[in-house]
Chain A
Amino acid sequence: MSADAIEASGAPPGRGHALWVRLWHWGFAAIVLALAYSGVVILMAHPRLYWGWTGNDLTRPLIELPLGPNYKHGGWRAAIAFFGDPNGPVTRDRTYQIFNQNSWARSLHFLLAWLLVTALAAFAGLSLATGHLRRDLVPRREELASGGLWRDVREHLALRIPPAQGGPPYGLLQKLAYLGVLLLAFPLMVLTGLSMSPAVAAAWPWLPALFGGTQSARTLHFAGLSLIALFLLAHLAMVVLSGLGRQIRAMTWGR
């Protein structure tokens, strides 16, 4: 919604952010950043992504990420028949020392994942109970009518960003971005994350199968991170373009 449109429609200035929204926002931001950090450390141990159920160092990856010392390593020494039997097991030594910090990174990632699920449940409950979801996040019919979405896209592409009002009402694309990341990206992260757990995959094999296999789920988990990173970049860009100081004040002190 452009500044002119707000004036013309006689919409009230920003209502400010509710206390629970502010607390949730900064808490959730901290959880997501720490999850991204520990997740990337886990990924650095094996920066190769596969499709299907299996994948390992000696199979072809779908994507090889230029991430950390394990990317494009020196490779492998020649395969040696271990028992002298050409059909028996072979061994292959790495020519490099593998980077692997999975011990603490996984534990930290799981701790944060519990906090993330708790925060998502809290948001679902509070946004429904307070009407935040219905009032501020779900697009209204009149917003979508008569090419409202297309108009908002054009305004954003031209970088005509109205100055911050400090809180709702949100613009149409803004609403869709928040709903998209909360209803699609984060549930995808939770479900693909669970699919990678051997315990969950044993109990509910349909869950990894839903994503095409354990390794596919891992690849989609990374795709989810990419979506969330894209959202974060767009979110930060809009905060800066609409008035960084005003927005930070509003999200911290309320107005």
Chain B
Amino acid sequence: MSMGDQDILPRRQALLGGLATLGGLTLAGCTPENPPTYGNILRVADNFTYQAQRLLLPRNALVREFDHADITSMPAIGTTNPGDPKEGAYNAAFGETYDRLRKGGFADWRLEVVGLVARPASIRWPT
């Protein structure tokens, strides 16, 4: 198993297909509202930039894809251990569970898809 496994995520093309069928429903979720400025003139300028981007740039443009070789070997996540009481990221509520799952290589971990969904599921980490 490596972090590079792509089978846990659908390919972008598949996502695009889904977007096309959902159509306006998906876009309706992206409200053109601006983030709050808190009276800060620099944030007002940022909002001007956001508005210009929405006005001038196509809405369905996708960011460039990079090879794994192009990505820094310093991961943005997985650098702290919430299960270690000596660390600043220690979480008393979930730390113990996290530590137990981590020691098992997250083989026992499940992503529960429940609630108002058509197909409830329990997804395990691919091994």
Question: Which A residues fall within an 8 A CB radius of B?
Answer: 53-54, 56-59, 79, 82-83, 85, 87-93, 104, 107-108, 110-111, 114, 198-205
Considering the complex, give the chain A residue whose CB is closest to the CB of B79.
A91
Asked if residues B61 and A203 are in contact (CB atoms below 8 Å), the reply is yes
The A contact surface, by secondary structure, is: loop
Given A107-B42, A107-B43, A111-B45, check contact A202 B63 (CB 8 Å): yes
Given A82-B79, A83-B102, A91-B74, check contact A110 B46 (CB 8 Å): yes
Asked if residues B3 and A53 are in contact (CB atoms below 8 Å), the reply is no
Considering the complex, give the chain B residue whose CB is closest to the CB of A84.
B105
* In the complex, per-residue mask of B40-52: 1 if CB is within 8 Å of any chain A CB, else 0: 0111011011000
Contacts of A201 in B (CB 8 A): 63-64
Q: A79-B73, A91-B78 are in contact. List 19 more A-B contacts (CB 8 A).
A: A53-B64, A54-B70, A54-B71, A82-B78, A83-B102, A88-B3, A89-B75, A90-B73, A91-B75, A107-B43, A108-B45, A114-B49, A198-B63, A199-B53, A199-B57, A200-B57, A202-B57, A202-B62, A203-B58
Considering the chains assembled together, what is the distance between the CA atoms of A204 and B57 in angstroms?
8
Considering the chains assembled together, what is the distance between the CA atoms of A179 and B62 in angstroms?
37
Query: Using a CB-CB cutoff of 8 Å, which residues 8-31 of chain B contact chain A?
Result: none
- B112: shortest Cβ distance to chain A, in Å? 22
Contacts of B74 in A (CB 8 A): 56-58, 91-92
Considering the chains assembled together, what is the distance between the CA atoms of A85 and B43 in angstroms?
44
B66 at interface (Cβ–Cβ under 8 A)? Answer: yes
Considering the complex, give the chain A residue whose CB is closest to the CB of B80.
A91
Considering the complex, give the chain A residue whose CB is closest to the CB of B41.
A111
Considering the chains assembled together, what is the distance between the CA atoms of A59 and B70 in angstroms?
9
Number of B residues, CB within 8 Å of A? 28
- B53: shortest Cβ distance to chain A, in Å? 5
B2 at interface (Cβ–Cβ under 8 A)? Answer: yes
- A24: shortest Cβ distance to chain B, in Å? 21
Asked if residues B63 and A111 are in contact (CB atoms below 8 Å), the reply is no
Considering the complex, give the chain A residue whose CB is closest to the CB of B52.
A114
- B60: shortest Cβ distance to chain A, in Å? 9
B122 at interface (Cβ–Cβ under 8 A)? Answer: no
Considering the complex, give the chain A residue whose CB is closest to the CB of B81.
A82
